[in-house]
Every structure is written in C-alpha cells, then in structure tokens.
Amino acid sequence: MDFTLTKYRQLLTALIQSNIPFHLRHDVDLLPSNSLRTAKIETSLNLKATYYFRTVPESLNPAIVKEISSLGHEIGYHYESLTTCHGNLETAYQDFCRNLQHLRTLAPITSICMHGSPRSPYDSRDLWKHFDYHSLGITHEPYFDTDFNTTLYLTDTGRRWDGYNVSRRDKIPVYQDQWTRQGLTFHTTDQLIAQLTDPSSPLRQSGLHLLITTHPQRWAPPGPHHLKEYLSQSFKNILKRILILHTDKKQQSQQ
C-alpha cells in the first residue's frame, strides 16, 4: 500500500542510504496535523525539511507551525495571492506582504513557494514579473532559485510520482523531457525506492541532486482517510486532465 506513513519512512531511509544529496519540501495544502506527523518522522531520522503553509484555515494552524519549527524544520509561505485576488497585481502584492508579515509572527520566513491552484487561470509566480521578493527578505523560491541542470525535481502531486502528466503548474516542463529520456520517472514510491537502493540505477548514476516535494495530507495510516484521499485524488486527476486538454486546445486556437 502506497502513501502510508510507513512507506514514507521507508522512502526517507532509502534516501539516506543512497548518499544522494537531497532537500525535502512539503506543501501544507490541507490537514496540518499530517505535516506534524511527517515532521516527527524526519526528526527521528535527523533530517530537516521545509514546510510551506498557506494562509487559509485548512492549512495554517499556528500551534502546529510553531511545533514544526521547534523541531528544527524550516517554515515557508505557500503563497497564492494572485489567485485569491483574481489577477489584480497591486492587491495581490499587498495581500502577499500582509500574509508574510503574519506568518513571521509564528516563525522566521525566508523561503516562499507558489501554490498551484489548478482551477485558477492565474499563476501566482507571475507576481514576480512586477515585484521583487528579495526586497522582502526572501532568499529562495524553489521554482526560480533551483538549478535544474544539477537537480532532479520529484513531486507526489496527483498522489503519484509522475503527476506532472496531470498537473498544470507543479512541474518543470523544459527539464522533464530530459529526465524522462534518462529513465528518471517513477509512478509508485516503491519504484522510486528501488532506484535509490540500486547502485546501478539511472537515478544513482545520474549525479543529480534531488528536490523532493510531498503533500503530507496524502501520507496517512491505512484507514478511512487514506481511502478517501485515494478516491478524491483519483477524481481530481481526471478533472485536471480535462482542464489541461481544454487549455491546450484554447491556446492552439489562439495561435
């Protein structure tokens, strides 16, 4: 059974034993209590990760933010201002600054990461075509500040490791084709673990560092929540495929 907490610990153990340099990033979209669980597992293995919290009630639990920070993990801001402000740049920037200031009352924040918002026509990363996040004391936005020539991006978006096929924004389009040609694509966690533990695998031979993004609400003990997440995400993937096809057709008709 995939996407359990037991499987997550197995993945972390395989990462450690592989000796591949890696960074763990978590998008806390929902169920912050699940993030506390993964943070404690990481702490037990002497690992540190970055947890990106949205500033909405289903993500932002101040007590959990503080506890995860107290464990030594980094807290980041999972921003979506251009979406929530319906594309208004000035309003979105003010919203971003206000939310950032609030988060900084809970923990130090120097890293931010865009929340994909697949149903929105707006990409919140476009905010930085007009403003500079560095001026706000932010040093890192993974989509802009990662060297993907040396780093392989892996994400569990879509509750699968090849979710770039059903994702509008959580992917690295130019590099993804190159990684696919190198055999650096996986569907299940077991497939990823198998390459991590095989010295002759394409992953171990690639020489790439790893940037790994997970959504902790997906990782849970077997039971009702685990089943609900599986069924819900399967349905969402179908909707996202339809949305991507519709967007592609619309763009082709405009060319």
Q: Could you give all domains of the chain from N- to C-terminal order, each with its CATH number?
A: 5-250 (3.20.20)
Q: Which residue has the higher pLDDT, 236 or 49?
A: 49
Output the pLDDT for position 117: 86
Q: What is the mean pLDDT of the chain?
A: 92
Share of the chain above pLDDT 70, in %: 89
239 pLDDT above the threshold of 90: no
CA-based angle 198:200:206, to the nearest 5?
Answer: 105
Is the pLDDT at 244 greater than 60? The verdict is: no
The structure tokens 């907490």 sit at 5
The residue with greater pLDDT, 241 or 210, is 210
Residue with tokens 């924040």: 109
**pLDDT digit string, tens, across residues 165-223:** 778 788 898 899 999 999 999 999 999 999 999 999 999 999 999 999 999 999 998 87
Q: What is the model's pLDDT at position 166?
A: 76
Residue range 84-97: mean pLDDT, rounded:
98
Q: Are 123 and 82 in contact (CB under 8 A)?
A: yes
Question: Whole-structure pTM over 0.75, yes or no?
Answer: yes
pLDDT of 73 reads: 98
Residue 6's alpha-carbon distances to 2, 3, 11, 41, in angstroms, are: 9, 8, 9, 10
**Mean pLDDT value of segment 96-115:** 98
What would the mean pLDDT of 46-64 be, rounded to a whole number? 98
pLDDT at residue 165 in the model: 79
For the cut 60, the answer to whether the pLDDT of residue 255 exceeds it is no
Question: Which position has the token pair 């969402």?
Answer: 236
pLDDT at residue 54, as a whole number: 98
Question: Interhelix angle for 32-44 vs 62-70, to 10°?
Answer: 10
Check residue 238 and give its pLDDT. 58
pLDDT tens digits along 114-149 = 998 888 999 999 999 999 999 999 999 999 999 999
pLDDT at 170: 87
Contacts (Cβ under 8 Å, ≥6 apart) of 203: 20, 152, 184, 192, 195, 196
User: What pLDDT shows up at residue 246?
Assistant: 55
Residue predicted with more confidence, 128 or 237: 128
